[in-house]
Amino acid sequence: MKVVIYLALFLTAVACNETPAKPLDKEKEECVVELGLNRDEIIKLDALELPIDTNADYNRFVACDSKKKGLMTANGEILYSAIKKLLLELPDVKTLPKLVHSVYARIISDALKRCETLPLSEKDPGKNMIHVFTCMFKEMDNIKESMV
């Protein structure tokens, strides 16, 4: 069973981390243009394992991208069910054996439930999404540490 959980955690880590060499996707490119942001700066910030929430431009970028991807409403409310759906529909996840997929889905559901309780600021939707992402990352780290 530990092997199944390790595999699920590995896939979660891959899903939550972007690599510096990865170009911006269509929605992210649109946000850079729409918001008039420095593309190189956004690429650097977006490649961080744990993004910062102190850069106002990056926070606006995250909110824009989250809205375009359907992870946030137009007024900035985070759609946790959409985040779960996104994480369960990643190409690597869709091809998992049924048992591993079930464990992965349970891990994601449990982590999101804990992250839904975060106190969020209504003033900065981008910062809120970064906090949820950071919470998910920490939840996955806690699970990995508890298995060692």
Task: Count the alpha carbons within 13 Å of 13 in the hemisphere toward its beta carbon.
Answer: 11
32-50 pLDDT, tens digit each: 999 999 999 999 999 988 8
Whether the pLDDT of residue 28 is over 60: the answer is yes
Distance (Å, rounded) from C-alpha 52 to C-alpha 48? 8
Count Cβ atoms below 10 Å from residue 103 Cβ, excluding itself: 19
Whether the pLDDT of residue 15 is over 70: the answer is no
Distance (Å, rounded) from C-alpha 129 to C-alpha 59? 9
Segment 130-143 shows an average pLDDT of 90
First-residue to last-residue Cα distance in the chain: 14
Distance (Å, rounded) from C-alpha 61 to C-alpha 50? 15
pLDDT for residue 3: 47
Query: What's the CATH architecture for 26-146?
Result: Orthogonal Bundle (1.10)
CB 59 within 8 A of CB 21: no
Which parts of the chain are beta strand (E)?
A: none
The pTM of this model reads: 0.80
> How would residue 67 be classed by pLDDT, with cut points 50, 70 and 90?
very high
